[in-house]
Chains A and B, each alone.
Chain A
Amino acid sequence: DAMVIQNPRYQVTQFGKPVTLSCSQTLNHNVMYWYQQKSSQAPKLLFHYYDKDFNNEADTPDNFQSRRPNTSFCFLDIRSPGLGDAAMYLCATSISRGTSPTDTQYFGPGTRLTVL
């Protein structure tokens, strides 16, 4: 089945130790997103890739970076995790054809990050 896959599902890291979260998709969608969701809150968009073009949200801290080496994969790098970065990180994908209406975003199962 076509899907959005996130690995690992649970990640524990130490304060200040870099961590990378992974997202892959078999939907062949050209847009990939990373959201941060803290407990009992709505998902918050960090950034997205429109094809190879990176679009950062204005309030996303510099501590968060992303890479998209190809259509299928996208990575979220947290350079120096702080205790406040503990959250669920959700990857999503969609098709966007520029002038066409916004298509639905499909989400992966998320990676729950714990910072010790």
Chain B
Amino acid sequence: AQKVTQAQTEISVVEKEDVTLDCVYETRDTTYYLFWYKQPPSGELVFLIRRNSFDEQNEISGRYSWNFQKSTSSFNFTITASQVVDSAVYFCALSEAEGGSEKLVFGKGMKLTVNP
């Protein structure tokens, strides 16, 4: 069965600190997709990144970067020089590539608080 583990439940940092959010997944599939979503206090889940299982290149988008390592089944997310606006709950999720049920399996989420 698929499973996503976000071991950290809550992190608090001071603005401009770097912070890494850990995500470990389990799946028997060889083809799968990994996602990160941000959920600010307003409630909307905002899509951040999608990565397929065959693409292990790390990705950087502004202050955000992602480190995908199949060998350790991890897909970690780093925010560099954090800002107050980064305060949110962050979810890591896993999806199968095919099948009748297009199901996202979410981790439990990690609440990030960035203090000024």
Complex CA distance for A101 and B95, rounded to whole angstroms: 10
Contact with A102, one of B44, B91, B96, B108 (Cβ below 8 angstroms): B96
Distance in Å from the Cβ of B81 to the closest Cβ of chain A? 27
Instruction: Report A-chain residues with C-beta under 8 Å of the C-beta of B37.
Output: 107
Chain A interface size, under 10 / 10 to 19 / 20 to 34 / 35 or more? 20 to 34
Q: How far is the CA of A40 from the CA of B35 in the complex (A)?
A: 19
| 8 Å CB contact of B107 from A40, A42, A88 | A42
- Chain A residues whose C-beta falls within 8 Å of the C-beta of B47 in the assembled complex: 104-107
How many A-B residue contacts, CB cutoff 8 Å? 60
A108 to B42, CA, bound (A): 11
User: Which residues, 84 to 99 on A, are CB-close (under 8 Å) to B?
Assistant: 88, 90, 92, 94, 96, 99
A50 at interface, CB cutoff 8 A: yes
Contact B107 A101 (CB under 8 A): no
Question: Roughly how many angstroms separate A110 CA and B37 CA in the complex, as a whole number?
Answer: 14
Q: Does A76 contact B (CB under 8 A)?
A: no
**Contact partners of A101 in chain B: CB under 8 A:** 31, 33, 52, 97-98
CA distance A102 to B98 in the complex (A): 6
Q: Is A55 an interface residue (CB 8 A)?
A: yes
Residues A102 and B45 in contact, CB atoms below 8 Å apart: no
Which of A55, A88, A105 meets B43, CB within 8 Å? Answer: A88
A41 at interface (Cβ–Cβ under 8 A)?
yes
Q: Taking beta carbons and an 8 Å cutoff, which residues of A are in contact with B?
A: 31, 33, 40-43, 45, 48, 50, 55, 88, 90, 92, 94, 96, 99, 101-102, 104-110, 112
Chain B interface (Cβ < 8 Å from any Cβ of A): 31, 33, 35, 37, 42-47, 50, 52, 91, 95-98, 100-104, 106-109
